[in-house]
Amino acid sequence: MEQIEINTHSRIELVDITALVEKVVAKSKVQTGICVIFCPHTTAGLTINENADPSVKRDIIKTLSLIVPQKADYQHQEGNADSHIKSSLFGSSISVIIEEAKLMLGTWQGIFFCESDGPRRRQVWVKVIKET
């Protein structure tokens, strides 16, 4: 297992971590298998989406803020209830197939760390599992 360190700069932010995950896969030398990416935080998550056009990230952040506003009649008293909800919408893990030592992502796809309660120093855990 490898740990990736991420520094976020905004309260809500999508950070493209595709290249960092690709480095872990390359280092593993696994030709065929699965790459599992896990976020151990309750106010952040992971997703796969388009990484070619930056407006996609802005649209996702804008829509999340409309669907789950920062201020509402939440009972969680820390002031970050919306962050917990947003992280649940994204989820805490994703898996990507590895073929010929490469992540099998679509042409425009990238792996994103989804910050909902930043800025913070975060971690993502990556496990590469070789096909037997």
Residue 96: HSE in the Cβ half-sphere, 13 Å Cα cutoff: 28
Report the DSSP beta bridge partners of residue 16: 112
* CATH number, domain containing residue 54: 2.60.120.460
Q: Which domain holds residue 9?
A: 2-130
What's the confidence (pLDDT) of residue 80? 97
Confidence of residue 13 (pLDDT cuts 50, 70, 90): very high
Q: How many domains does the chain have?
A: 1
pTM: 0.96
Cα separation, 100 vs 47, in Å, equals: 23
* pLDDT, tens only, 18-64: 999 999 999 999 999 999 999 999 999 999 999 999 999 999 999 99
